A and B are shown apart, each in its own frame.
Chain A
Amino acid sequence: MTGTDVRADTAAPTAASPGRGARRRELRILGRRIDLQVLVVTVVVLVVVVFVALLGIVAGSSSLTIPDALRTLLGAGTGAEQLIVFELRLPRVAGALVVGCALGIAGALTQTFARNPLATPDIIGVTSGAAFGAVAVIVFSGGVYAVGAGTLSLGVPLAATLGALITAAIVYGLSWKGGVDSFRLILIGIGATATLMGLIRWFIARAQLVEAATASQWLAGSLSGISWTSVVPVVVVLLIVTPIAMTQTFALEIGRLGDDMSTGLGVALQRHRIIVIACAVVLAAAAVSAAGPIEFIAFVAPQIARRIAGTGRPPLLLSGFMGALVVVGADLIARALLPSPVPVGIITAIVGAPYLIWLLTRRKERETLR
C-alpha cells in the first residue's frame, strides 16, 4: 500500500472515460465543443430537478396540487396559495436548490483539482471552519432571544463565511511546502477538521442548553429555518462564481494528467489552483452559511454526475444540478415521508455514507478511490 495508489485516482482511465478508446460524440456550439452525452444528461437532470422542486412546493400540510403550484408561481394563485407558495414553501425549496447546487459545484472543483474523490470541502476543512464560526456566534451571543432571530439570519452566516475562508486559508497555507500537494492538503484538512470539531463540542458543552440545542440543530444541516434573506446571498455567489469556475475547465481537464504534464502544457499551476480552491471555498461557505453543513452532497453529487455523464472528471454544471436534486429530494423525504421532521443533513449522511461504503466494496471503484 504505497503512495502510488493514492495517485492513481480519478485521473486513471476508468471504463467510462475516453481512455477506453470509444469516440465520444460532440456538438459545436458557439465555437466550443460540447459533449453530447453530458448535454443530454444535464438537460434530463434539470427537468427532474424542476419536477422534484415542484413536488417540494406541493408537499406539506395544506393540500396543493402541482397545477395549483404552477398557476401560483405564474402569478395567478389565490391569496392563500400565494402566501403558502411564496412565503412558506418556496424559500425552503429554493434554499435546497441553491445550497445543493453550490455544494455540488464546490465538490466537483475540489475533487477534480485534487484528483481524488475524497477531496471535498467537508474534508479539506472548509465546512468545519464554517461550523466553528457559526457555533461560536450561536453560543457566545449570550442567549439573548430578542435579537436571536437577527443573530441567526445575519451573524451566523457572516461568522460561518469568515470561518470557512480563514480555515481554508490556514489549511492551504499549512499545506504549502514549495507548492501545494493535494495529498497533503487533504490530510491537513482532516487534522484541522478534527481539531475544530473538538472545540465545537466544547463550546456546546459550555453553552446554555437552549443554545446548545440551536447549535446542534444547525450542525446537523437543516433547511427548516431558511428564509429569502439567507437564500439570496447564495444565489448571488452562484451567479458570480460559477462562470469564473467554468473558465477553469480547460485547466482542470489538463490538470487531470498530473502536475508535471500540466506544467509542461503551460498551465500556470499554482494560480489555477488558487482560483479553483477559492471558487470552491466561496461556494461551500455560502452554502454552509445558509443551511449548515449538509454532509456528503459535495462528495456524492459530483461522483454521480461523473458516472451518468460517463466523463473522466465530474462536469461542473451537471454536478451542481445533481447536488440540487439530492438536497431537494432529501428535504422532501425529511418533510413528507418521515413521521417527524428530521434535519436534511441527517438524511444525506444516512444516504451518502452507504454510497461511499458501496463504492468501497466494488473492485473497480476501489481502484479509483485508493
Chain B
Amino acid sequence: MLGVSATGIAAARPVGAPGKGRYRRSGPVLAFAILGAGVLIAAVVSLMLGSNLIDPVSVVGRLVDPASDAGAIVWGSRVPRTVLGLLVGFCLGIAGAVMQGQTRNPLADPGIFGVSAGASLAVVGGIYVLGTTSVLATLWLALAGAVVASILVFAIAAIGRGIASPVPLAIAGYAVSSLLIAVTSYFVLANETTLAAYRIWVVGALSSRQLAGTEPVVAFAVVGLIFAAANVRSLNSLSLGTELAQGLGESLLRARLVGLAAITLLTASAVAVTGPIGFVGLTAPHIARALVGGDHYRLLPASGLVGAVVLLLCDVVGRMIGGTSEVPSGVVLTVLGGIVFIVIVRRGRMAAL
C-alpha cells in the first residue's frame, strides 16, 4: 500500500493521458452541451440571487431596461460580477489545465507555483511605494510580478537538469512562494495603509469590482488564451512523457515557453481583477477531465467553462451564506477547493509532486 502503489499508478498513468473510462468518443458533444447549459444557468442564478431576490423573468426585463430603478441593481452590481466571474473563472480554469498538462502534476495550481505570490508581492509593492490601487495599475503590477515569479520558478527548476521535470518545479514553486510571501509581509507590516488595502485585496472576491477599466485585462486574457490554444498540441505530446514528445518532433523549450506565457498572462489578468483566487485552476481541470477526457483539444475549453461555472457558483454561495456581510468567493473556494484537493489525493491517482 505504501509508496509502491502510488508509484505504480503514477508511472502507469500520466495525468491527462487517455486512460480507462476517461476517453469517450460519443461524450464530448453532450459534455459541452451540459457545460454550456451550466454556464447559462450559473449566470442567470448569479443575476437572480443576492440580498434582493429577483425572479428570472424580471431579470430579463431589467437587463433590457437598464434605466429603471430595478435595473440599477442588476446592472450596477450583479452584471459586473457575473461577467467578471465568467471571465476570471474561464482564465483560471484554462491556466490550471495548461499548468497540469505542462507539469504532468495533478495538483498544479497557479497558487502552488508561486505565480499568485509574485503578483501579490508586486501589487503590495505598488500600494506601499506608489499608493496605487487602481485596476489598471494593479493589472500591470500583477502581470510584472507573475512574469518574474514564473520565470524565477522555471529558471530554478531548469538549472542543470532541464526544464522538463515537474518535481523540482513544484518544490521551486514552494520555495519561491515562501520567499515572496516573506517580503510581502515585510511591506505589510511596515505600513498600516498597505496592510489595510492588502488584506482586502488578497482574499480574492468578485464583489464591488467594476467593469469599467478592465478592457486592458480582457486584452491580456485574450492574448493568454491564444497562447494556450497554440500550446494544445504540445500539451498532448507532453502527456506521453517528455522523451516521447521530443521524439515526436516537439521542441521542448518552445512548448514550455508558450505554456509559461499562457499561464502567466491568464493568471495575471485574473489576479488583477479579483485578487488571488486559488483552487479554480486546481479543481476545474479535474472535473473537465472526468467529462471530456484527457485530450487537450477538448480539455482546455472544458476546463475554462468548468472554471467559470465553479467561480460563479462559489460567488453565489458566498452571497447567500454570509448574512449581512457576504463571504468572498475566494474564501468559499479555498474551503471547497481544499476538500477537492484532499479527495484527489485520497483517490491516489497522481504523479509525483
Question: A residues near B, CB below 8 A?
Answer: 1-7, 118, 174, 177-179, 181-184, 186-188, 190-192, 194-195, 197-199, 201-202, 204-206, 209, 212-213, 216-217, 219-220, 258-260, 295-296, 340, 342-343, 345-346, 349-350, 352-354, 356-357, 360-363, 366, 369-370
Q: A202-B327, A349-B182 are in contact. List 18 more A-B contacts (CB 8 A).
A: A1-B165, A3-B9, A3-B11, A3-B351, A6-B7, A198-B334, A199-B331, A201-B199, A201-B331, A212-B199, A295-B178, A340-B190, A350-B183, A356-B171, A357-B175, A362-B160, A366-B168, A370-B352
B2 CB contacts on chain A under 8 angstroms: 179, 181-182, 259-260
B199 CB contacts on chain A under 8 angstroms: 201, 204-205, 212, 216
A350 CB contacts on chain B under 8 angstroms: 179, 182-183
B211 CB contacts on chain A under 8 angstroms: none
| Cross-chain contact A202 with B352 (CB below 8 angstroms) | no
User: Closest residue to A356 on the B side, CB-wise?
Assistant: B175
Q: CA–CA, A206 to B172, complex, Å?
A: 32
User: Closest residue to A115 on the B side, CB-wise?
Assistant: B3
A4 CB contacts on chain B under 8 angstroms: 7, 11
| Cross-chain contact B11 with A212 (CB below 8 angstroms) | no
User: Closest residue to B334 on the A side, CB-wise?
Assistant: A198
Instruction: Decide if B185 is an interface residue (CB 8 Å cutoff).
Output: yes
Known contacts: A177-B346, A198-B278. The answer to whether A118 contacts B181 by CB under 8 A is: no
| Cross-chain contact A187 with B107 (CB below 8 angstroms) | yes
12 cross-chain CB contacts under 8 A: A1-B104, A1-B352, A5-B352, A118-B174, A198-B203, A201-B202, A209-B196, A212-B196, A353-B182, A361-B160, A363-B160, A369-B168
Classify chain B's interface size.
35 or more
| Cross-chain contact A191 with B178 (CB below 8 angstroms) | no
| Cross-chain contact A360 with B156 (CB below 8 angstroms) | yes
Known contacts: A5-B167, A370-B167. The answer to whether A357 contacts B338 by CB under 8 A is: no
| Cross-chain contact A187 with B345 (CB below 8 angstroms) | yes
| Cross-chain contact B342 with A188 (CB below 8 angstroms) | yes
A360 CB contacts on chain B under 8 angstroms: 156-157, 159, 168, 171-172, 175
| Cross-chain contact A343 with B189 (CB below 8 angstroms) | yes
User: Closest residue to A259 on the B side, CB-wise?
Assistant: B2
| Cross-chain contact A194 with B185 (CB below 8 angstroms) | no
A363 CB contacts on chain B under 8 angstroms: 160-161
Interchain nearest-CB distance for B11 vs A (Å): 4
Interchain nearest-CB distance for B342 vs A (Å): 5
A345 CB contacts on chain B under 8 angstroms: 182
| Cross-chain contact B179 with A353 (CB below 8 angstroms) | yes
Q: CA–CA, A181 to B160, complex, Å?
A: 31
Instruction: Decide if B65 is an interface residue (CB 8 Å cutoff).
Output: no
B183 CB contacts on chain A under 8 angstroms: 346, 350
Which listed residue, A182, A184, A346, A353, touches B345 by the CB 8 Å rule? A184
| Cross-chain contact B178 with A353 (CB below 8 angstroms) | yes
Instruction: Decide if B96 is an interface residue (CB 8 Å cutoff).
Output: no
| Cross-chain contact B342 with A198 (CB below 8 angstroms) | no
Which listed residue, A5, A181, A191, A213, touches B342 by the CB 8 Å rule? A191
| Cross-chain contact A342 with B186 (CB below 8 angstroms) | yes
Interchain nearest-CB distance for B121 vs A (Å): 13
| Cross-chain contact A361 with B159 (CB below 8 angstroms) | yes
